[in-house]
Amino acid sequence: MTTTEDTRPSVQTADLDRAWATPPGFIGWLSNVNHKAIGFRFIVTAFIFLLIGGLQAALIRTQLIGPEQGFLGPDAYNQAFTLHGTTMMFLFAVPMIEGLAMYLVPMMIGSRDLPFPRLNAFGYWLYLFGGIFLYWSLFTGSVPDGGWFNYPPLSGPQFRPDTSIDFWLLGVTMTEIVGIVGALELVVCIARHRAPGMSLNRIPVFVWGVLVTSLMILFAFPPLVAGGLLLELDRKIGTHFYNPMAGGDPILWQHLFWIFGHPEVYIMLIPAVGMLATMVPAFTRRGIVGYPLVVVSLVAIGFISFGLWVHHMFAAGLPALAMAFFTAASMAIAIPSGVQVFALIATLWRGKLVWSTPLLYIVGFVLVFVLGGITGVMVASVAFDWQVHDTFFVVAHFHYVLIGGVVLPILGGLHYWFPKMTGRMLDERLGKIAFWLIFGGMNLTFFPQHILGFLGMPRRVYTFQSGLGWDFYNLVSTLGTYVTVAGFLVYTANMAINWSRGRPAGDNPWDAPGLEWATSSPAPAYNFAAGPTVSSLYPLWEPEGAAPRGQPGLLDELQGHRREIVGTTVLDAEAIEILELPGNSLWPLIAALAIVLFLFAVMIDSIVLGGIGLGAIVGSLACWLWTGSERTHE
Amino acid sequence: MSRRAGTLLACAGALGALAACGDGSALSPKGPSARDIAGLWWLMFWLGLAVYVFVVALLLVVLRRRGKAQEPVAATPGEGRALIWGAGVGMTTVVIVALVLVSYSVGGRIYDRRGTSGLQVEVIGYKFWWEVRYLGRSDAITANEIHIPTGRPVDLILTSRDVIHSFWVPELAGKLDLVPGVRHALRIQADRPGEFRGQCAEYCGVQHANMLLLVVAQPPDDFDAWLDRQGQPRQQPTDPLTQRGEEVFVRTPCGACHRVRGTTATADVGPDLTHFASRRTLGAGVRPNTRGHLGGWISDPQAIKPGNLMPPTKLAPDELLALLAYMESLT
Amino acid sequence: MLAVDRFRTDARVSVHVDATLLRRPRAGEPRRRPPVWLGLLLGLSAVATLLASLVFAYFMLMFHNSEWPLDGIRRPAVGTPAIGLALLVASTVPVLLAGRAIGAGRQRELRLWLATAAVLGVVILGMQARGYAGLGFAHDVNAYTSLFVTLSAFHTINLVIALILNFATQARAWLGHFSAEYHEGVRLAALFWYWAVVCGIVLFATLFLGPLLDPAVQ
């Protein structure tokens, strides 16, 4: 294995340490723009929201432990499932993946940072404020309770004249903006800042997944922003987009929401599956089987996922011919998904297995996701969906695909990359205990719900009558929830304990092939002292492609005393330029605060405050871009 | 680990499917639509089980192999093609094409049965109850309980007066949304007499969980008799107690929201109560229709169904007794 | 003093590029756009999708209703908006010429063309303001008026942003920030201006030509 110490006189690490340093103190922390710091904040914040969402799940299931329970009244229950879905989808899943991408992608492709560091930081602050904004509703007593998809007219001005739905709309809009700017930056980074020699066929699968997902985000999030804007206008200034009495149509919301909502779940799935494909080599001691097919399938999933959204609306009374198309498309997406699964199985087959916690999560993915995928193909059938739509069968389906396809890979990925981020190993025993509790618990929780769906139990019901035959399955489901919660507690404890006291990890504890393992754990702010070049998909296993020694060329021009990254071409990653990055700045934080101020003014109907907010937005953006102004260079 | 887990999962799958065949279940169909869908389900179930067992078995075999230790190696181009193309692409494609075709066939059959030639019943969704009007027999208005003749198609015309609801009686048919401003048609049919439970299946607010309904299938003659009765105005109260009860009904807030045909109470904010006593439940299925429950409901519906749109009514005890007697007389 | 000051430079092409490249420059090699250009394009794709969603909403509601406009409202006259559209399309010319001018190092011409574009933009905004005042309906009458006002406002907002960027670019031009080698700011502001023009064309077509597509409406 190559070391990361670089003794070339042209690049001194002391210079790099100074150039990439964060100023000390609280202001320094606020102005930090390094991708690892920001990515880390995303991950930690998203994990906290995961736990909060899990708490809400436990509350929901406790209320449903038996018929006619009085644990949560109808209002509290409806708020709980609304917040549970909203938190998990908007505040946990996508931000967690963004955080992992921000942290890992530059390292995996051999770059020192993302190309727009202040945009990064802005994304984090807006995410944090958006989450706080949404949860502020708990303090005002005006908690959103329209469900995570918030259909009008129920969420419109006539039936929800209070501010509850505004908290949802505005909070979610903030997280949408975060997603879009993060995606934008990741695409530019992956397109133009890879290590020289990292041509398209040498990009790690996770990075491909992030690229596909980011492009999807750019096209999937705006429809929700548009739909949300129209709903907020209905609520605030009396427009009639969704009002059937004045020419509007509530089904318009459903279209706009699900044009976002269906790609959204694949936005979560694709990087997660990419993570698995990137981790599995370390535990099979060989590269992933069928890399080109795997990558093409990820792209195919990305494309096809935009053509499925109507399957969420099969009971809304749309024309038969339209629905038939969406049945075929919804089933067709199982084909590239199948490629992912069988590529993983083939890799496991041909490799030498190294049993450890991340491998358990990979196997868990196959078992759980495939079951969810099968029920997914079933609900894609219109006629069948007419029975199970909006019942617990669908709840079971999507939890199987989301937990199997997103949560388990994330948990496995966190376990796998924890050493890289903190320099410490997680405890294997605790890791395995957590896995089994979560795996077993989620099956106990959600498998019975398939049956409940058939027995007639719809979604989003705060209670049910006794004597319907539903009691036993609800009881089992709730007990399964407690097991799952225990698993998450063990997982969290594992991280909390080993954060500072775990076994020191070293550069590459898993003997993995990716570039991120070529530097220390945790990596210095500048990632690599010497800009690496690659000539293989598995750089650390085929060291001819690892960090160069004394090689002339552009990489040598990287100055140590400035924050610089290399720019490369899109297809073959030939180095063509050097870019200088902006440094620490408070403007991202200020701009995020300005947006919060403006949206808060919208919520409380204050034109004065809104004007100030708008001015603040324009002003802070102007200062942000101005301080990045180029002077005619030396 | 692996073998036991795999066996457990397969058993759970089969058992689960059987367990879902209970009463009131979509898998114990009582009408042609539900029967078609149940048939489709069983086909998909066995196909899905076969695929899942295949994947689990493959995984078990793979995980138990002991490969020899080796230096880490990058992938060989072209390897694994058989498995990925054969299973990942080939098997999946075959299964999916089959399912698409079967799904189109079943869906088409259900769609082809739609029409407006059956008995037409308008079902209007409110928060949190169902108004039922028999079209062509415009005098028959009831709530939360739909009677249909056995063996004949019935076309439900669905719409809403407020938010989106969804009509679902699993033993008879799939569901369809009640959308304000639009009218959708859903055809149901019951083979044999029976009572079939239904529930709102689109979140519509705080008491969505308690927006239940009942479909009662009767032999055609019994149904005709029922329908005729429902079309008539209320029976004149004959004894002093029920007369007093009607007077209480019309005078107090009851008459401000509820209609009893034949009296001066003609409001249509709440359900039509002309033949209230003929219904099996009250409050859209939340309690059985008995004197005790009715007394509690009238006094404080918020205690039973908090957040529904009926306010409590404070009555003197003798007024309440008279009113209850009157309500029981509305057969 | 915060470190904010020390690294004020934007992501940009450094002068090192021409001196040392990993591969030898070929004759006629085009100058590459810096990454921030790709970033702006991607951002505009997202905004374009937002526009597409609003247009989708318009057509969906139009086909959903049996008369359009609703409630017998008269469709706004197309004359003035058409003139505004023509001016908008014409404004791409000074923006284009401004880019050409600074590309050849002509600072005064740059400022002249930027100012011309700004004047056109302000005139168009003025016409839009008069248009809103003379609509004859407000946004809250029915779905048609809601759509008309909201979609028009979407364009107005984009035009205002384009104008703000134009003013900022003019200020930087006056401060001498641009040169023939580097004037990325001019190009980026120009891209947003072209976007505002495209947005205007699409919305004009939607609001004034779209209703012609609906056979139920005439």
Work out the average pLDDT over B193-219.
97
A4 close to A89: Cβ distance less than 8 angstroms:
no
Which chains are within 8 Å of B by 3+ CB pairs?
A: A
Task: Answer yes or no: do A384 and B40 touch at CB < 8 A.
Answer: yes
Does residue A215 share a domain with residue A119?
Answer: yes
- Tokens 């181009």 locate to B77
With a cut of 80, say whether residue A585 has pLDDT above it. Answer: yes
Chain B residues touching residue A289 (CB < 8 angstroms): 75, 79-80, 83-84
- pLDDT for the residue A565: 84
Rounded to the nearest angstrom, the minimum Cα separation between A204 and chain B is: 12
- pLDDT for the residue B80: 79
A612 close to A601: Cβ distance less than 8 angstroms:
yes
Neighbour-count burial of C72, counting CB atoms closer than 10 A to its CB (0-12 exposed, 13-18 middle, 19+ buried) = exposed
The residue among A1, A79, A151, A154 with the most chain B CBs within 10 A of its CB, best to mutate, is: A154
Which chains are within 8 Å of A by 3+ CB pairs?
A: B, C
How many Cβ pairs within 8 Å bridge chains A and C?
214
B34 close to A387: Cβ distance less than 8 angstroms:
yes
Query: Residue C22 — very low, low, confident or very high, per pLDDT cuts 50/70/90?
Result: very low
A301 close to A266: Cβ distance less than 8 angstroms:
yes
Whether the CA torsion C135, C141, C143, C146 is positive or negative: it is positive
Chain A residues touching residue B84 (CB < 8 angstroms): 289-290, 293, 339, 342-343, 346
What proportion of chain C, given as a percentage, has pLDDT over 70? Answer: 84
Chain A residues touching residue B44 (CB < 8 angstroms): 377-378, 381, 384
Work out the average pLDDT over A464-479.
96
Query: Residue A554 — very low, low, confident or very high, per pLDDT cuts 50/70/90?
Result: low
Does residue A445 share a domain with residue A316?
Answer: yes
Residues belonging to chain A: 634
pLDDT tens, position by position, B229-287: 999 999 899 999 999 999 999 998 999 999 999 999 999 999 999 999 999 999 999 99
Whether the CA torsion B189, B192, B194, B197 is positive or negative: it is negative
Rounded to the nearest angstrom, the minimum Cα separation between A190 and chain C is: 11
Task: Answer yes or no: do C164 and A618 touch at CB < 8 A.
Answer: yes
- CA–CA distance, A630 with C181 (Å, rounded to integer): 12
Residue C123 tokens, joined? 């005139």
- CA–CA distance, A316 with A389 (Å, rounded to integer): 10
Residue in A153, A285, A289 closest to B72 by CB: A285
Cis peptide preceding C69, ω within 30 of 0: yes
- pLDDT for the residue A564: 83
User: C21 — phi, psi (to 5°)?
Assistant: -120, 150
**Long-range contacts from C209-217, C-beta under 8 angstroms, 24+ separation:** C210/C58, C210/C59, C210/C62, C211/C62, C211/C68, C211/C69, C211/C75, C213/C59, C214/C62, C214/C63, C214/C68, C216/C66, C216/C67, C216/C68, C217/C62, C217/C67, C217/C68
Kindly state the helix (H) or strand (E) to which residue A132 belongs, with its residue range.
Answer: helix A117-140
Task: Answer yes or no: do A290 and B177 touch at CB < 8 A.
Answer: no
Q: Domains, chain C, ranges and CATH?
A: 45-213 (1.20.120.80)
Chain A residues touching residue C176 (CB < 8 angstroms): 632
Chain A residues touching residue B197 (CB < 8 angstroms): 456, 468
Residue in B22, B89, B110 closest to A339 by CB: B89
A260 close to A318: Cβ distance less than 8 angstroms:
no
Give one DSSP letter per residue of B90-137, joined into a string: IIHHHHHHHHHHHHHHHHHHHHHT--S-SEEEEEEEETTEEEEEETTS
Q: Which residues is B188 bridged to in the sheet?
A: B154
A469 close to A412: Cβ distance less than 8 angstroms:
no
CATH class of the B240-329 domain in this structure = mainly beta
Residue A308 tokens, joined? 């499925």
Residue B94 tokens, joined? 């075959």
Whether the CA torsion B98, B99, B104, B110 is positive or negative: it is positive
Does residue A600 share a domain with residue A497?
Answer: no
A120 close to A585: Cβ distance less than 8 angstroms:
no
pLDDT tens, position by position, C111-148: 999 999 999 999 999 999 999 999 889 999 999 999 99
- Tokens 């918030």 locate to A150
Chain A residues touching residue B5 (CB < 8 angstroms): 367
Segments forming the whole domain that contains residue A609: 587-627
pLDDT tens, position by position, C48-103: 999 999 999 999 999 999 889 898 888 888 999 999 999 999 999 999 999 999 98
DSSP state of A307: G
Would you tell me the crossing angle of helices A117-140 and A74-86 to the nearest 10 degrees? Answer: 180
Residues with Cβ within 8 Å of residue A347, at least 6 apart in sequence: A280, A281, A284, A286, A287, A288, A289, B80
- CA–CA distance, C28 with C51 (Å, rounded to integer): 38
- pLDDT for the residue C218: 54
Amino acid A333 reads I
- pLDDT for the residue A546: 46
pLDDT tens, position by position, B84-124: 898 889 999 999 999 999 999 998 888 777 766 778 999 99
Question: Is residue A566 classed as helix, strand or coil in its secondary structure?
Answer: strand
Cα angle vertex A579, ends A576, A583, to 5°? 165
C114 close to C155: Cβ distance less than 8 angstroms:
no
Q: Which residues is A567 bridged to in the sheet?
A: A577
Query: Residue A580 — very low, low, confident or very high, per pLDDT cuts 50/70/90?
Result: confident
- Tokens 């993060």 locate to A182
Residue in A245, A288, A390 closest to B75 by CB: A288
With a cut of 90, say whether residue A95 has pLDDT above it. Answer: yes
Query: Residue A461 — very low, low, confident or very high, per pLDDT cuts 50/70/90?
Result: very high
Work out the average pLDDT over B126-153.
92
Q: Which residues is B141 bridged to in the sheet?
A: B133
A581 close to A211: Cβ distance less than 8 angstroms:
no
The closest alpha carbon to B198, from B175, B171, B224, B169, belongs to: B169
How many Cβ pairs within 8 Å bridge chains A and B?
294
Chain A residues touching residue C57 (CB < 8 angstroms): 226-227, 230, 241, 252, 256
Q: Helices marked H in A20-92 — which ranges?
A: 25-31, 35-63, 74-86
- pLDDT for the residue A631: 36
Task: Answer yes or no: do C64 and A622 touch at CB < 8 A.
Answer: no
pLDDT tens, position by position, A530-539: 778 888 899 8
- Tokens 């934008």 locate to A184
Residue in C57, C71, C179 closest to A241 by CB: C57
- CA–CA distance, A443 with B13 (Å, rounded to integer): 11
Closest chain C CA to residue A577: C17
- Tokens 């009715």 locate to B294
CA distances from C2 to A14, A119, A586, A630, C11 (A): 20, 19, 10, 19, 20
DSSP state of B227: H
Task: Answer yes or no: do A384 and B200 touch at CB < 8 A.
Answer: no
Task: Answer yes or no: do A233 and C22 touch at CB < 8 A.
Answer: no
A416 domain-assigned: yes
- CA–CA distance, A19 with A226 (Å, rounded to integer): 42
- CA–CA distance, C2 with B77 (Å, rounded to integer): 53
* Mean predicted lDDT score pLDDT of chain A: 92
A144 close to A164: Cβ distance less than 8 angstroms:
yes
A498 close to A516: Cβ distance less than 8 angstroms:
no
A344 touching B (Cβ < 8 Å): no
pLDDT tens, position by position, A212-259: 999 999 999 999 999 999 999 999 999 999 999 999 999 999 999 999
CATH topology of domain B119-220: Immunoglobulin-like (2.60.40)
Rounded to the nearest angstrom, the minimum Cα separation between A347 and chain C is: 35
Task: Identify the CATH number of the domain in which residue A178 sits.
Answer: 1.20.210.10
Which one of A498, A518, A538 terminates a domain? A518
Does residue A444 share a domain with residue A323?
Answer: yes
Task: Answer yes or no: do C182 and A238 touch at CB < 8 A.
Answer: no
- pLDDT for the residue A568: 86
- Give contacts of A 189-248 with B, CB under 8 A: 244-245
Task: Answer yes or no: do B100 and A391 touch at CB < 8 A.
Answer: no
- CA–CA distance, C99 with A228 (Å, rounded to integer): 37
Task: Answer yes or no: do A315 and B63 touch at CB < 8 A.
Answer: no
Does residue A598 share a domain with residue A510?
Answer: no
Residue in A343, A370, A389 closest to B80 by CB: A343
A538 domain-assigned: no
pTM score, whole prediction: 0.94
- pLDDT for the residue C11: 31
* Mean predicted lDDT score pLDDT of chain B: 90
Which one of A518, A537, A563 terminates a domain? A518
C174 touching A (Cβ < 8 Å): no
DSSP state of B196: E
Query: Residue A622 — very low, low, confident or very high, per pLDDT cuts 50/70/90?
Result: confident
A245 domain-assigned: yes
C73 touching A (Cβ < 8 Å): no
**Range with lowest mean pLDDT among A3-7, A67-71, B142-146:** A3-7
Query: Residue A409 — very low, low, confident or very high, per pLDDT cuts 50/70/90?
Result: very high
pLDDT tens, position by position, A267-288: 999 999 999 999 999 999 999 9
Amino acid A623 reads C
With a cut of 80, say whether residue C31 has pLDDT above it. Answer: no
C209 touching A (Cβ < 8 Å): no
Chain A residues touching residue C187 (CB < 8 angstroms): none
Residue A241 tokens, joined? 């987009």
pLDDT tens, position by position, A22-31: 888 998 899 9
Instruction: Report the number of distinct structural domains present in chain A.
Output: 2
Chain B residues touching residue A146 (CB < 8 angstroms): 203
pLDDT tens, position by position, A427-446: 999 999 999 999 999 999 99
Residue in C2, C11, C176 closest to A27 by CB: C2
Whether the CA torsion C138, C140, C145, C150 is positive or negative: it is positive
Kindly state the helix (H) or strand (E) to which residue B327 belongs, with its residue range.
Answer: helix B317-329
Chain B residues touching residue A335 (CB < 8 angstroms): 88-89, 92-93, 96
- pLDDT for the residue A296: 96
Question: Is residue A526 classed as helix, strand or coil in its secondary structure?
Answer: coil
DSSP state of B207: T
Does residue A595 share a domain with residue A481?
Answer: no
Q: Which residues is B196 bridged to in the sheet?
A: B215
Task: Answer yes or no: do C7 and A183 touch at CB < 8 A.
Answer: no
Kindly state the helix (H) or strand (E) to which residue C95 belongs, with its residue range.
Answer: helix C92-103
Work out the average pLDDT over A369-383.
96
pLDDT tens, position by position, B81-94: 888 898 889 999 99
Which one of A518, A542, A566 terminates a domain? A518
What proportion of chain B, given as a percentage, has pLDDT over 90? Answer: 78
- pLDDT for the residue B61: 92
Neighbour-count burial of B238, counting CB atoms closer than 10 A to its CB (0-12 exposed, 13-18 middle, 19+ buried) = exposed
Centre a 10 Å sphere on the Cβ of residue C79 and count the other Cβ atoms it contains.
Answer: 8
- CA–CA distance, A610 with A599 (Å, rounded to integer): 8
Does residue A610 share a domain with residue A513?
Answer: no
Query: Residue B77 — very low, low, confident or very high, per pLDDT cuts 50/70/90?
Result: confident
Closest chain A CA to residue C30: A576
Task: Answer yes or no: do C20 and A187 touch at CB < 8 A.
Answer: no
